[in-house]
Structure 1
Amino acid sequence: MEGIIFYWTFWVLWICTTFFMSKTNPRRVKYTVIILFSIILSSHSIHFFGLEVSVVSIFLLFLAYFEVGKMKGRSMAYFLITSFILMLAYGSFQLFELFDPVWLILDRDWMFAVVLTYMTIMMHKEVFKRVIALIFGSIHGEIVYSLVLDVYSMEIPIGSLQFLDVISISVCLILAWSGFEKLTSLFEGHVYQLEKGRGRQS
């Protein structure tokens, strides 16, 4: 069932932000509202210039543009370049799937998510920028893919539930990897302090 991963993931994220994030964290309410609006808007779509576009993809793209607008100079330039690369990767994967689906030997959504996650992690270090770049590049990739197929009179909805499933898996993988990086960093710091203490004693 398309969309089930998206709904499960976002409900879990909503529970985490509502009940487990510190109430003093200024981002707590922001994240909670975004998650709830994403769930609510996921079942709605509009037609724009002959293309069917999900409202949630417009909402997420608007938020991504807002965050990109706050960047400056080299940071913005680098972000746009990496997002362009993600857009091309997204569109290329979709076209390969359409014209040569034989090479998809594993589950399509998971293969897609792993590729996007790997590229995002390699290009960005901050968790927040990873998620924003993923959303920014993927939605633009959806638009490009839909426009290409529209030339051949094939209507593909932008931001479908299947797309949201891929994004949800990718976000979970990014959060899991970022958490692993933090644990590794804490462990290395702890080991360093122990070695430093032993050095002083000797």
Structure 2
Amino acid sequence: MEGLFFYGIAWVSWVVTTFLMRKTKMRLVLSAFLLLLIISSTSYQEVAGVRVYVSGILLFIIGVSFIAASPKSKLLCSLYAVMIGMMYSMFHFIEIYDPVWLQVHRTILLGGILVMGSLFYSDHPFVSVGTLLMGTMQGEVILAITLREYGFHNYVGGFSHLDACFVAMVFLACIHAIFLFLRTSKKTTHTYVKGMK
């Protein structure tokens, strides 16, 4: 069922940000954004015979704002997003052509591929998420333009897109948490060994 990963991850994230985080402005913004994303996930507008979902546009805007606030080159980040969009659309083209090769759940496989692509381009968390969100929306537009004439994929930013984005963001969060743990444990070990001398 499409949307299951999105709703599960979004609701758990909303509960964590609303009830378990410290009371800061960031908590309020995250909680409000997650709730707005959940509410708008079924809203869409028809544009040239294609359903454009509001939640996809919201994720694209967040991706653009993350890239705009990043310390890296904006042109380079936009190029990375285009490459991730090509990866996203190629995965779907291959899936349509030969769906038998998918032995793992398609959303988990697509999320893993997108994470590898975004980590290949940048190790900064906000840049990775920004390029991921921007790129997947560009991939959705490529799919809609290409496959609309054949009766496939007449929507942009639907539940399959939200599933892939949220699974990829969970993978990114886990990987960045592991990197942070390794970085802090290395500093702690270095300080401990230095104090023993």
Q: If the length of structure 2 is used for normalisation, what is the TM-score?
A: 0.92
Radius of gyration: which is bigger?
1
The alpha carbon displacement at 1:132 in A equals 1.6
- Residue 104 of structure 2 is aligned to residue 75 of structure 1: no
What letter is aligned with 2:62? Answer: L
Deviation at 1:71, TM superposition (A): 5.1
CA drift of 1:155 comes to 4.5
Equivalent residue pairs, number: 197
The Cα of 1:22 is off from its aligned counterpart by 2.1
1:47 corresponds to: 46
Secondary structure (helix, strand or coil) at the match of 1:27 reads: helix
Q: CA deviation at 1:58?
A: 1.4
**CA 1:77–1:169 in structure 2 vs 1: closer, same or farther (change >3 Å)?**
same
Q: Percent identity?
A: 24
Instruction: Extract structure 1 runs of 4+ deviating beyond 3 A.
Output: 66-72, 151-155
The equivalent residue for 2:8 is 8
Q: CA deviation at 1:54?
A: 1.1
How far 1:161 sits from its partner (Å)? 1.1
In the alignment, the residues of structure 2 paired with residue 193 and residue 9 of structure 1 have an alpha-carbon distance, to the nearest angstrom, of 37
Aligned residue in 2 for 1:173: 171
Of 158, 161, 172 in structure 2, the residue corresponding to residue 160 of structure 1 is 158
Q: Distance in 1 between matches of 2:126 and 2:40?
A: 22
User: In the TM superposition, what whole-angstrom CA distance separates every residue of 1:129-178 from its partner, at most 9, and x where no partner exists?
Assistant: 22121111001101101100124344521112122111111111111111
| Residue 93 (structure 1) aligned with residue 91 (structure 2) | yes
Q: 1:120 to 1:71 in 2, by over 3 A?
A: closer
Q: Tell me the residue number matched to 1:32.
A: 31
Task: Name the structure 2 match of 1:61.
Answer: 60
Alignment correspondent of 1:131: 129
For 1:86 and 1:158, locate their aligned partners in 2 and report how far apart those are by CA, in whole Å. Answer: 16
Q: Which runs of 5+ in 2 are unaligned?
A: none
- The structure-2 alpha-carbon separation of the partners of 1:180 and 1:190, relative to structure 1 and needing over 3 Å to count, comes to same
* SS in structure 2 at match of 1:41: helix
Please give the alpha-carbon distance, in whole angstroms, between the structure 2 residues aligned to 1:70 and 1:169.
Answer: 23
TM-aligned CA distance change 1:179 to 1:71, over 3 Å: closer
Corresponding residue for 1:198? 196
- Where in structure 1 are there 5+ consecutive unaligned residues? none
CA separation in 1, counterparts of 2:176 and 2:123?
9
RMSD value, Cα: 1.7
1:70 offset after TM fit, Å?
Answer: 4.3
Q: Report deviation, 1:5.
A: 1.3
